[in-house]
Chain A
Amino acid sequence: MTEQAAAEKGLAVSDEVMIDIRNMHKWYGQFHVLKDINITVKKGERIVVCGPSGSGKSTMIRCINRLEEHQKGQIIVQGVELTSDLKQIEAIRREVGMVFQHFNLFPHLTVLENCALAPIWVRKMPRAEAEEIGMKYLERVKIPEQAKKYPGQLSGGQQQRVAIARSLCMSPNVMLFDEPTSALDPEMIKEVLDTMIELAEEGMTMIVVTHEMGFAKTVANRVIFMDEGQIIEEEEPETFFEHPKNDRTKLFLSQILAH
């Protein structure tokens, strides 16, 4: 089984720092959404972020590619600090892939055109080459036969796999997943998780906001628990699930693992 295989491999993590978040704060008007966030992600690490809804976990990963702006502290991606400098933001977005809860595929383009769009217009690739890469990643997520269809003709699970392929076409160094399975029917969750596990096995650096604790247990190097805009606990999955220190973590785990 792929999940066990991933766990047994004990994938290599290098010392190279990919993402460094230091004393980061964010406000929505008067509302203090993120309070003093500190996270260091090394190359090849797989981080799972969980917490109750409204805890700021999505907002936090959306700060990493500047879909949200932080007001205080530093976010450094591959040695480049995120500021309001548009050139730097674009440079970072090119290297950081993101998968959304609601897929956000472009409905007016075919699956293959969705994949080829950014390589053509951002990487300035010839169309033929971009489509070749698109097909390669569509095969990787096991839906090459859907290439000529439009997103509206696919199931939710297929759409999310296309979204993953679309991100991979930019050959990112880091992948951010913002609740990738939350909008899916139960029988489609597995196909998306399997794709993500394969990605992890290939050594992709990943930050995943999810409630899939099975995924966290088998794939994650570390689990981060957030509540009310703060990081409450940051542990290896074994320690996190077996011996949580904080009462809030215990409460959250008891609720989420109860059913």
Chain B
Amino acid sequence: MNTDSTPLPKVPKKSVWNNPKFRSLFFQAIVLAATVAFGISIFHNTSVNLETRGIATGFDFLSTTAGFGIIQHFIPYTEESTYGATFLVGLINTIVVSALGIILATILGVIVGIARLSKNWLIAKLAAVYIEIFRNIPLLLQIFFWYFVVLRNLPSPRQSVTFVGGFFLNNRGIYSPSPVTHDGFSYIVWAVILAFVLIFFIKRWADKRQEATGQQFHTFYVSLVILVILPLLAAVATGFPLTWDKPALSGFNFKGGMVIIPEFAALLLSLVIYTASFMAETVRAGIESVAHGQTEAAYALGLRPNSTLRLVILPQALRVIIPPMTSEFLNLTKNSSLATAIAYPDLVAVFAGTTLNQTGQAIEIIAMTMAVYLSISLLISAVMNWYNASVALVER
């Protein structure tokens, strides 16, 4: 194709279309326009439909009277309360069961995970059996099991299973004595606070002393003693301003004391047991991810097994454990919405369920409920990411 005259090097035709910057902007603009158009059409469609059916939009319903009771509420709530109060009660019930669930599942998961690595054959096998059973049965089925098979089949209040100290177990729930405070109880609270402050300073002093002299201090045991002695002294000085209101059978049910309703117990139990089985595998994987050479090197230096675990293995295992652990926290929180199945009054049951049925404000209620779960999840993620960054490994 070459002609005999020496041609200039061919300058490629400059086209905007081949400019990567232009292309990226162009496609982003198209996607943005499409998204906005879609949003507008949805909004328009919805408002037209709502109008033709005569449904009022807005959040006014939150201040109207709900007219239904809720079996578990941590803030004052009656049938005369508003839907806004219903929302709060449901939210608090969700947070209580999720927070307790996360704490208990983490404790159980860590114990089972370490147990699975135990050199004791029986302990390791028991942990493995536990994990394989509860990890492989659907959570909803486990909730049904604890609720319908176990807790609902307990004897009636009159035939309650009785424990020492005023604890009763029956098909209406778990009844326990409730504390009743009298004058001077605040001194005990102050004593507990004082104990914590004291422990904080002792810990600081002990750390400083170890830095300076190398001597180690039994901070844990001393703290334990302080935590027991100080409140006890305050209690003696104020003449034990705390009594217990024991539940007592009257008629067909118990009066007085505290009750944990079977719905709550069943939901918490199944969430904890189910999630802990996943966490146990996460913990095991984290510990096993640390090379055996690390343990050997620590042992060869004369470190004891528990020091090795604390100073060498766990800091390295944590960076493997935390990201999947965050997922498990999120799963547990979101799975708590299965409460609806056994009528535990969580946010989904009382708000996205009953309230939605009564008011018909589907868009507002579902949006609020979703926003709540999204916020809780993002909050958990943010906290865990911050923690993860603080234990991350520096490499290169």
Contact = CB atoms under 8 A, between A and B. Distances in A.
Interface residues of A, number: 35
A134 interface: no
B383 interface: no
Nearest to A149: B394
A153 B294 contact: no
Interface stretch (B120-128, B228-236, B275-283, B297-305): B297-305
B214 A129 contact: yes
Given A108-B393, A150-B395, A153-B395, A120 B214 contact: yes
Interface in B305-329: 307, 311-312, 315-316
B393 A107 contact: yes
A127 B208 CA distance: 10
B315 A108 contact: yes
A249 interface: no
A128 B213 CA distance: 9
A95 to B, nearest CB: 8
Contact of B303 (A122, A124, A127): A122
A98 B293 CA distance: 12
Given A93-B300, A153-B395, A128 B212 contact: yes
A126 interface: yes
A122 B210 contact: no
Given A118-B302, A122-B302, A128-B211, A108 B297 contact: no
A174 to B, nearest CB: 12
Contacts of A120: 210, 214
A38 B212 CA distance: 45
Given A124-B215, A126-B214, A104 B302 contact: no
B296 interface: yes
Contacts of B303: 117-118, 121-122
A67 interface: yes
Nearest to A98: B300
Contacts of B312: 106
Contacts of B214: 120, 123-127, 129-130
Given A93-B302, A167-B301, A104 B296 contact: yes
B396 interface: yes
Contact of A126 (B210, B293, B298): B210
A105 B393 CA distance: 13
B300 A150 contact: no
Contacts of A163: 297
Contacts of A124: 214-216
Given A120-B214, A124-B214, A124-B216, A104 B294 contact: yes
Contact of A67 (B212, B294, B300, B311): B300
Given A104-B296, A130-B214, A153-B396, 15 more contacts: A93-B301, A96-B300, A100-B297, A100-B300, A106-B294, A117-B303, A118-B301, A121-B311, A126-B213, A127-B211, A127-B214, A150-B393, A153-B395, A167-B300, A170-B301
Interface of A: 65, 67, 90, 93-94, 96-98, 100, 102, 104-108, 117-118, 120-130, 150, 152-153, 163, 166-167, 170
Shortest Cβ-Cβ A-B pairs, 6 listed: A104-B297, A152-B395, A118-B301, A94-B302, A98-B300, A104-B293
